[in-house]
Each structure stands twice: as structure tokens, then as C-alpha cells.
Chains A and B, each alone.
Chain A
């Protein structure tokens, strides 16, 4: 399957990435090659095969519904590029 430049631009938008023209060009070519290789999966009939999403049997583990207080607010905020001691600060959205 061939991936077009328009598709690459659309995917970049979904992934919140901004690509320069030459990179869109390059990725379109590389994605076509990579997806072309992946398409070999189509030669295998997998009708009725149950998908395996994790090798682990116990991905949904329950615990008591008790609130924990493992971290201090100031520690969690300490790595934020912009914060005011209470909240993460982001550019205006409204």
C-alpha cells in the first residue's frame, strides 16, 4: 500500500507533530516501504483467530477503593515547564 503526502500530513496532525515539507516527502516514501513490508501479513488467513493483546493473564487487577497519598504536590509539579505551585500552566485555550 502506498502512503501519500496528504496522508502523512493528516497523520502528523493526529499525532500533534508539525513536519517540514521535505520530511513529509521523506516519511511518505519510508512509510510506503514499511507498510508495504507489513502487507505480507495479508498472505496469512487469520479468520477466527482470537487477537492476543498482552502476554499477561492478569491485566485487570482490583484493589480496595482506598485513597492513597503517595506524592507531594510540589514534587509532582517540580518538573513542569510552567507551574504556579498549585497547577500546571498551559497557554490560553479560551
Chain B
């Protein structure tokens, strides 16, 4: 990597503010990095080269604005977030030519904070997937080993950040889609509390689960981005009118884990974890203990039902949310049909990919007469029990520490023909979305067998992101770091 793109977001924003480096130099360094790495990793669906260069020159002329914490910093955005007048495909053919006439609230906040949006990241179609193999455009690859997936659904975001294409990306997490790719690509990824960040302009998949959050190369960088994107938005009724702490300032308040009780959910630490993942995660537990944390065991008695309840709920919500793709208001339409119903059917069958169709149909099924109580309502009841598990666990600990995935990034093609197998890889991430609480992936090492990154997730009670970030930074400081992704050298 060249010097500029190796630096952290925080460091770069400081250098830009102090005019030690020009915006144009930083933008060109990122574009250069994209040119070199993009043919290998397919992290981007859209790149705004010319307008970013023009914007950079304009910013260099006008000079730094101390009110803008991301002044001149190049970032990217998962293509599920609306960017005004520029492509927003959600990784789907049905939205191939869609140009939103409005900006997602969080995108507006990032721009207002001075960030330069280089482009939009590749993803599983409508955020449905765990590998980015469901992108209708191209398969993203893991910068640590190009034969492996970067994870998903925010796989393009994770791969791009790991490769140094940008200083941060915004991903979204419905059942692990920030935390799992962050783990697979060796970066830091935070899913905020449901309600912390506005979802206005986030194209809906599972409305009671979706949340957007930062994907970066350090906890401090996550904190800075979270400062910018958090807060109540009158355009999103689920965003919470609640004071947003200064997450970056909070990081300075804790240098160790003294006085913190960290809970290890028994059920998460015993099931089918690969030896190398277990080894890395256990060394992280030891580091937490060395840093002063009191390690306790906690019980999550309903953990085994998490995947079933999660997939029923997200599929049900998807079937409702994706009814809007009917070839009328935006996106692709099959124009060969003279009948309205036939037009709907042809448009949706041609425009939506197989996994999306599968989930819409499964969701339609669990909501249909005769099955609603047995599946959808039952899953919502289990959701209550899972949330209570977390609430009870937090009576005996301050933070929960758990693996993110049972193994490191799998090979491209390995799970794609077996949807159930693919769903089961989400075993440690989905329950957090059911409960609505915040969690962050911190990279802890490289697996000794595969040489691929292993992450661990820190989980806190609702709206305690500051605690997650603090503990994440302590662990990060105690670890040597993963180095440069090997698949790019």
C-alpha cells in the first residue's frame, strides 16, 4: 500500500485539517488504490471518479472547515443506501437504472461533515446473503485470499476497506451483514443499536432488523463515523430522540478493562467452532482478562432457536417490503405484456435474483393463512425470549464477548447451492438483530490453518455503543494487528 491509504481515517482527517496533505492527493491515492485492487476484489458497483476529483480541487481551494469532522476524507457507501441522482442498485437488476431523487439521511450527514463519497459498494442483492455471491453484477472477493468470499451482505464494503480503497464504508446489518464480512476481511465493523442511526433512505429488507453502521480499520475510526451518522431523524419514526454521546471522546476515558464484567455465553462457545477460530477467540478472552476484565459465563438458553426465528421474521418482512418492485414506479419493467398481472409477474421474475425470490416466497408462506401462527407469530414469541436472554445476561455482565462466525471466510461456491447451509453460517450474528442491541467486530488474528482473519464480537445493552467501542479499542491496542491483506500482494 502507498503511505496515504495505509493511514487511519482519524490520522488522515487530522493531516487534511492541518493541510499536511491535500484533499486531491488523498483522493488520488484512493483512486490509484482502487485501480490496482478493484480488478481483483470487485468491491465497487459504481465509482464517481470525475466528480470526486473536482470536489477535491474545490475543497483544496476553499480550505479546511474545522466544523466538519470528515473534511476531505474519501469513503464509500453500500449500494443499498440512497445517494441522490447517482446509482443505487441494491445489487439487483431490478434497480439497474434507479437514481433516487433524495439522499439517505446518513449520506447527507456524511456529506455535510465533509466526506467525499467515492462510490457505492458491491453487496448481496437487497442485502440477502452471507457471501456477496448473490450480487446481480459481480462476485466480490476476499483481499486475504481471492478464492474466498469477503462475507456478506456488506462484502464489497469490507473488502474495499481492507484493501485500502477508502478510509471507511457504511454497511448495513440485518442479521450480521456488517459484523460477518468485517470478521472475514479483518476489519472493524459496528452494528449500532436499532434506532441509533436513521434508516431513511436505506432500502428496506427486514424493517424491524435493518441498521446501518461504520466499517473501518479501527475502533476510533468507527467512533468518529458513528458521531456523524447517529441521531434522531423526523423522517424515520424508529430513530430514537435521545442524546448522542461523543463516542470519540469516550474512547479517551478508558485505557483498560478494569471493573468490567465480560460475559461469555455458554451456548456460543461450545458449538461447532473451527479450532483456529476458537484459538483466536480464546486468546482475545485472555487479553481481555489481562486488561483487567472479570470474565464470567452467562446463559442464553434460547440461542439455538435464533436462526429459525430470525429467518422467518426477515423473510416475512422481505416479502412485504419487496412487493414494491412491480415495474411501475421505478426500476425494470418487462414491456412485452399487455396484462397488468402478467407484467408484474414477468417483471419480478426477470428482475429479482433467485435468493431474493426464495426469501420473498418463504416470507409469503409464513405469513399466509393457516401458517401465520405456527411460523411468524411463533418466531416473534421466540424473539421476545431471545431479547430477554440478553437482558438477563446483562444483569451479570457489562459486555458480552462471542465469536462472529464458526469459521473463517469460506470458498466462493462452497455454500451457494445450499441455502440452508448458508443461513446456518449466521449462527452467532442474527440474535443481536432480533434483540436490537449494538455489537462490533474486532479483528483478533489470522487462523493458523487458513491464514484468514478471525474476528470477535463485543455486544452491549441498547445504546451502550460507547462501551463497545472502548472495549474494542483496548483489545485492538493489545493485539499486534493483522498487517496487509495477503491476496493483494
**Interfacial residues of chain B within 343-388, with CB under 8 A of chain A in the complex:** 343-346, 348-349, 352, 354, 357-358, 360-362, 364-365, 368, 374-375, 377-385, 387
Pairwise interchain contact A11-B234, C-beta atoms closer than 8 A:
no
Given known A40-B305, A58-B240, contact A30–B419 (CB-CB < 8 A): yes
Pairwise interchain contact B99-A37, C-beta atoms closer than 8 A:
no
Q: Could you give, for residues 316-343 of chain B, a 1 whenever the CB lies within 8 Å of some chain A CB and a 0 otherwise? A: 0001000100111111110101111111
A84 shortest CB reach to chain B, Å: 13
On chain A, the residues within 8 Å of B97 by CB distance are 79
Pairwise interchain contact A11-B361, C-beta atoms closer than 8 A:
yes
B7 shortest CB reach to chain A, Å: 36
| Prevailing SS type, chain A contact patch | loop
Pairwise interchain contact A71-B101, C-beta atoms closer than 8 A:
yes
Query: Is B312 engaged at the interface, CB distance under 8 Å to the other chain?
Result: yes
For residue B380, which residue of chain A has the nearest CB?
A: A51
Total interface residues on B, CB under 8 Å, equals 74
Query: Is A69 engaged at the interface, CB distance under 8 Å to the other chain?
Result: no
Query: Is B108 engaged at the interface, CB distance under 8 Å to the other chain?
Result: no
Q: Could you give, for residues 83-126 of chain B, a 1 whenever the CB lies within 8 Å of some chain A CB and a 0 otherwise? A: 00000000000000111111000000000000000000000000
On chain A, the residues within 8 Å of B387 by CB distance are 52, 55
Looking at the complex, which one of A17, A31, A46, A92 makes contact with B378 (CB distance below 8 Å)?
Answer: A46
A2 shortest CB reach to chain B, Å: 13
Pairwise interchain contact B423-A34, C-beta atoms closer than 8 A:
yes
Given known A11-B364, A31-B365, contact A58–B308 (CB-CB < 8 A): no
Given known A11-B368, A41-B305, contact A56–B195 (CB-CB < 8 A): yes
Looking at the complex, which one of A11, A55, A88, A91 makes contact with B339 (CB distance below 8 Å)?
Answer: A91
Q: Could you give, for residues 60-83 of chain A, a 1 whenever the CB lies within 8 Å of some chain B CB and a 0 otherwise? A: 110100000011100110111110
Given known A80-B330, A88-B328, contact A15–B420 (CB-CB < 8 A): no
Pairwise interchain contact A81-B361, C-beta atoms closer than 8 A:
no
Pairwise interchain contact B331-A51, C-beta atoms closer than 8 A:
no
B235 shortest CB reach to chain A, Å: 9
Given known A37-B308, A79-B98, contact A49–B420 (CB-CB < 8 A): no
Query: Is B484 engaged at the interface, CB distance under 8 Å to the other chain?
Result: no
Looking at the complex, which one of A8, A23, A56, A79 makes contact with B330 (CB distance below 8 Å)?
Answer: A79
Query: Is B435 engaged at the interface, CB distance under 8 Å to the other chain?
Result: yes
B432 shortest CB reach to chain A, Å: 10
Pairwise interchain contact B234-A63, C-beta atoms closer than 8 A:
yes
**Interfacial residues of chain A within 9-49, with CB under 8 A of chain B in the complex:** 11-12, 14-19, 23, 27, 30-31, 33-35, 37-38, 40-42, 44, 46, 49
In the bound complex, CA of A53 to CA of B240 (Å): 17
On chain B, the residues within 8 Å of A72 by CB distance are 101
Query: What 6 additional pairs, Cβ within 8 angstroms, besides A17-B360, A81-B327?
Result: A15-B357, A17-B349, A41-B382, A58-B237, A63-B234, A71-B101
